[in-house]
Structure 1
């Protein structure tokens, strides 16, 4: 596998936009003070907050962003970075297992939309109803370094479209790369032809996180979604 040197800005990660909805717990109480108490209770089961306090078997709390900055120097994106590594699917994703997350991003919005849209479409397939609208916001981040690159290995098993095949192969590859000291991996998008992606294994290489554009993905009766800017 080749090693590629990059110094690239504004790689795109799409996350669900939730601030347009009222807090889920707010309807259970009458005052902001009571809401704060419930939020504290909810935090006792938050994977991110638990990892920030205690770490986990697969994640040393010192790797997380807050541990590298003074409390009065918190920057935008701190919680988003930590959440990417602490909230995971039980079976993991293409290049991370269920016990440790990763930061997935791409070089353009269309690629990121196809990636997140695939997962949402798969969830709609489970219930057999393709009527949905989801809002996403871009998180832009900069990266610099020398990283392994699957760009010249399009037939690598980790790039198999079927998650049942591609995910185990990708997780095994990521484990080997991390063991060898690599902090990220470049790879061609599986969901968007010609797209290029990066997965960061280490929170410490994610720089200058800031918000970007906002988008909606809409399904209107079929697995094909429409992407629109807000």
Structure 2
């Protein structure tokens, strides 16, 4: 396993990066309406006295250092992945004990990443074929100094394994403990695509909700994507390595 000092750090500045999430997750009023995160703890304390379920909505705010919290319009899309975590929902760069904000450099990359994970869920739960849950596109910018795994596929093959996340989680845990802001890495779902895994919400900014999409499950894979706004339907075609 490569150690943290052996991995270079690159300045990543992406405009028009994309995150795709389930539409079932609504905005969180506290993050959206109160722009100054310094005011949040007192407001939460006051709100809990009349609304004991407030923490279920907000999640665990203590998981985000106060100086790295973000507020204002769209902040839910940046904060929620860090305040709603569970060891029952691990991912490539976390065992579920801390949050990670995953972002694709382009819409296509984000789409292929989410299609893969949605298909795994549908197959595991043996869902019947048909149109499934709706997803929403979040367009945002990324500006952060990240540990850079690009161009190191051979040396870091276990970290980029398509299915086994154990090496990736171990590396991410050590990097985060050493003060890393996150990781930029080649997508293993979209040839030539790139992704960022941010360890804190302030590595991204200006999130704006874009389009809504429906995914069609054929019993084995997601084969169609429908733009819920225009009604246009697109067939999902797996790309050969090296194409995008």
TM-score (norm 1): 0.75
What's the counterpart of residue 65 of structure 1? Answer: 69
**Which digits, 9 at most, give the CA deviation of each residue in 1:61-81, with x for residues without a partner?**
515635xxxxxxx52222222
Secondary structure (helix, strand or coil) at the match of 1:94 reads coil
> Given the superposition, is the C-alpha separation of residues 149 and 64 from structure 1 closer, same or farther in structure 2, using an over 3 Å criterion?
closer
- CA deviation string 1:162-187 (max 9, x = no partner): 1xx2x111111112222332202110
Partner of 1:137: 136
Q: Deviations over 1:126-148 (max 9, x none)?
A: 23334242211111221223322
Mapped partners of 2:64, 2:145: distance in 1: 23
Question: The residue matched to 1:81 in structure 2 has which SS?
Answer: helix
Report what 1:120 is aligned to.
118
Mapped contact 1:6–1:145 kept (Cα < 8 A): yes
State the 1:106 CA deviation. Answer: 0.4
Q: From the superposition, tell whether residues 88 and 119 of structure 1 become closer, same or farther in structure 2 (CA, over 3 Å).
A: farther
- Any conservation in 2 of the 1:138–1:211 contact (CA below 8 Å)? yes
Q: More deviation in 75-84 or 101-110?
A: 75-84
Give, in whole Å, the separation in 2 of the partners of 1:177 and 1:222. Answer: 36
Structure 1 runs not aligned, ≥5 long = 21-38, 67-73
CA distance in 2, matches of 1:225, 1:43: 39
> Matched residues in 2 for 1:43 and 1:79: separation?
15
Normalising by structure 2, report the TM-score. Answer: 0.71
Structure 2 residues without counterparts, runs of 5 or longer: 1-6, 27-49, 229-244
CA contact (8 A) 1:130 1:222 kept: no
From the superposition, tell whether residues 50 and 143 of structure 1 become closer, same or farther in structure 2 (CA, over 3 Å): closer
Q: 1:106 aligns with which of 100, 104, 107?
A: 104
Higher deviation after alignment, 85-94 or 198-207: 85-94
Paired residue secondary structure (1:97): coil
Choose between structure 1 and 2: higher helix proportion.
1
Hey, what's the Cα distance between the residues in 2 that align with 1:62 and 1:204?
11
Cross-structure match for 2:82 = 85
- The alignment of Structure 1 onto Structure 2 pairs a total of residues equal to 196
Deviation at 1:49?
A: 2.2
Question: Is the 8 Å Cα contact of residues 69 and 202 (structure 2) preserved in structure 1?
Answer: yes
The offset of 1:11, in angstroms, is: 1.0
Check 1:86–1:117 CA distance in 2 against 1; reply closer, same or farther (3 A cut): same
Q: Who is 1:214 aligned against? A: 212
Kept after mapping to 2: 8 A contact 1:51/1:61: no
